[in-house]
Amino acid sequence: MSEERNELNELNTTQTNHEYGGSEIQVLEGLEAVRKRPGMYIGSVSTRGLNHLIYEIVDNSVDEHLAGYCSNIQVVLEEDGTATVRDNGRGIPTGINNKTGIPAVEMVFTMLHAGGKFGTGGYKISGGLHGVGASVVNALSEWLEVSICRDGKRYEQRYERGKTMYPLREVGECGDSTGTTVTFLPDKQIFEETVYDYDILKQRLREMAFLTKGLKIVLRDTREGMEREKTFHYEGGIREFVSYLNRSKEALYPEIIYCEGQQNGVSVEVAMQHNDSYTENCYGFVNNINTPEGGTHIVGFRNALTKTFNDYARKNKLLKDSEPNLSGDDIREGLTAIVSVKIENPQFEGQTKQKLGNSEARGAVDSVVSKQLEIFLEQNPSVAKVTVEKSVLAQRAREAARKARDLTRRKSALDNMSLPGKLADCSDKNPENCEIYIVEGDSAGGSAKTARNRVTQAILPLRGKILNVEKARLDKIYANAEIKAMITAFGTGIHDDFDISKLRYHKIIIMTDADVDGAHISTLLLTFIYRFMPELIKQGYVYLAQPPLYKIEKNKRVWYAYSDEELNNILKEIGRDQNNKIQRYKGLGEMDAEQLWETTMDPERRVLRRVVFDEEYSSEIDLTFNTLMGDKVEPRRDFIEERAKYANNLDI
């Protein structure tokens, strides 16, 4: 004890002797700040941050298109790990800046908050606001080269880790052609991973092309064994975006409703179409930037939609006088919509541009959509009729769901509402310490109940497969016994009643068999959580347990392997001979309680995979769920065929 005290005294002395004075305050010069804290500028240093470097350069080229000068952008992933972005815009200015005495292009790549988007001259509308994009890419690259065609001449300059290697130099003629080419190699000292993800880039560039009609974006991968090319060019713009998102569903009517107009300096573009599903997929964009949390433009759109449909339904006697107005939720059931606004000085709430705050956007979207939607409904009464009918059914279902919800809603501990009978709860009541295993079947549930740590681990066995929520209305979802049990066990409520502060477990672990059926059950559960409790995934509370695939016995010793690769490594280590006894687990029921604890439930040894999703790609995630869990077979078959080569651990 006295030793511990001495150590503590030593530590305290060390801490107090270290003075925190004026010399401790550091100013990071130039791009050093970016290299010290890259996450502040690009989100993370994982593959996501790596791809972000390309987006920053592409965004500059897109801004050139919005200004009316660029029609083609090429993105090339090179064999040596570099990326090249080429456009046919005006080319970054090469003239000397009066204030700094250096060429404008050098300022753009070496100074933070330098760019052409602060004044009113260069760009009326742009996604770039802070003037940090190009300089951040430069700061986080081992080297970056820029080549510019402008005024009939070609210029180039090279930088290494943000430092200029030589003054901007003229290297030849380029006739009438103009544009900018940027090639860079991400810095291995900064990034955990320096391999670009083609599929994620493809999603983002496709979205960008949809939002910018007429712009042609080519993505080319030249890496060995990965050679492929994709061109994105949509003359229909966001109309084509809506039909792309609806391709896995049955549209209620063939037309895509399109509204376009300008008001108070805000350019508004809206495309929408109802389908036969029960989920709303509405995406907002400001100057081509996704706003996952919505904002004033989405509020304006929803107001216009609710008001216009109700006015039409009353006027044309589709709603009786005795019937209440349709709510916004009823009208938006099964709606896919893109709301895209272009605005000169967008004001976002927060640094990450998740939500628009400009008040004028609300009025502009409301006005444009109200006027044009009213005209469209008058001209297309059949569309109006089928949409109102679907909304009335949604209203009735919502009322039935409300009654069911009142019965399901978890009361506080003071109330006598019991937890589901099947739930084996844990004794600790602090959610931070608690975890719940959702287990398929009673046999595995029995083993899990025996194996668990009763203080912190709760077990909820599910009988059979839960309802596919992608194909069901709210009232059916509330009536499903397995879903009801989960809602009650979690304690948060769902949908509009969702309250994360009431969550009873900070780890929700889906534990299913390592076979095709198990994967299907996991997908059904994830679909339910994603659609009705997405916050659980966003905040990192949802996990997938990974049971072992193999058990290896040799000379009374036991090993577990969680993949084919791990099995091979174990066999290499212990030697391959006839004494090896290898068991391939088909299901959790094959393990006794001790084995299940040791392999899958012991916090010291288990393998858990956290479920995460990136809000930037919400449209693509929605589409994936629609494709896999919807009614249409063709899109699902195409999806499987496209990804079959990546499948492993199949029970063939």
Active site residues per annotation: 440, 513, 515, 517
Are the C-beta atoms of 88 and 65 separated by less than 8 Å? no
Rounded Cα–Cα distance for residues 460 and 465 (Å): 14
Tokens standing for residue 394: 């949604």
- The Cα–Cα gap between 120 and 112 comes to 19
Burial label, 495 (beta-carbon count in 10 A; 0-12, 13-18, 19+): middle
How far is 27 from 21, CA to CA, in rounded Å?
14
| Number of Cβ atoms within 10 Å of the Cβ of 589 | 17
Buried/exposed 91-128: b ≥16 CB within 10 Å, e otherwise:
bbbbeebeeeeebbbbbbbbbbebbbbeeeeebbbbbb
> Which amino acid belongs to residue 309?
F
Q: Which run of H or E residues covers position 354?
A: none
Work out the burial of residue 67: count CB atoms within 10 Å of its CB; fewer than 13 is exposed, 13-18 middle, 19 or more buried. middle
CB-side neighbour CA atoms (13 Å) of 488: 25
Give the C-alpha separation, 425 to 435, whole Å. Answer: 10
81: its two tokens: 């790990």
Cα distance between residue 543 and residue 503, in whole Å = 15
Say how far residue 43 (Cα) sits from the centre of its chain: 13
- Retrieve residue 132's tokens: 């940090």
Query: Distance (Å, rounded) from C-alpha 480 to C-alpha 64?
Result: 53
d(CA 300, CA 369): 9
User: Per DSSP, what are the bridge partners of residue 260?
Assistant: 269
Cβ-contact 475, 404 below 8 angstroms: yes
Question: Taking the CB of residue 88, how many other CB atoms lie within 10 A of it?
Answer: 20
**Helices of type H across 228-355:** 238-245, 296-315, 328-331
Using CA atoms, how far apart are residues 254 and 231, in angstroms rounded to an integer?
A: 26
296 CB neighbour count, 10 Å cutoff: 26
Please answer whether residues 512 and 521 qualify as being in contact, where contact means their C-beta atoms are separated by less than 8 angstroms: yes
Greatest CA span in the chain, whole angstroms?
Answer: 89
Tell the burial category of 427 from Cβ atoms under 10 Å away from its Cβ (0-12, 13-18, 19+).
exposed
Distance CA 519, CA 618 (A): 22
Nearest to 88 by CA among 106, 104, 75, 69: 69
Other CB atoms within 10 A of residue 454 CB: 13
Query: Under a CB-based contact definition with an 8 Å cutoff, are residues 222 and 249 in contact?
Result: no
Q: What is the H or E stretch that residue 319 is in?
A: none
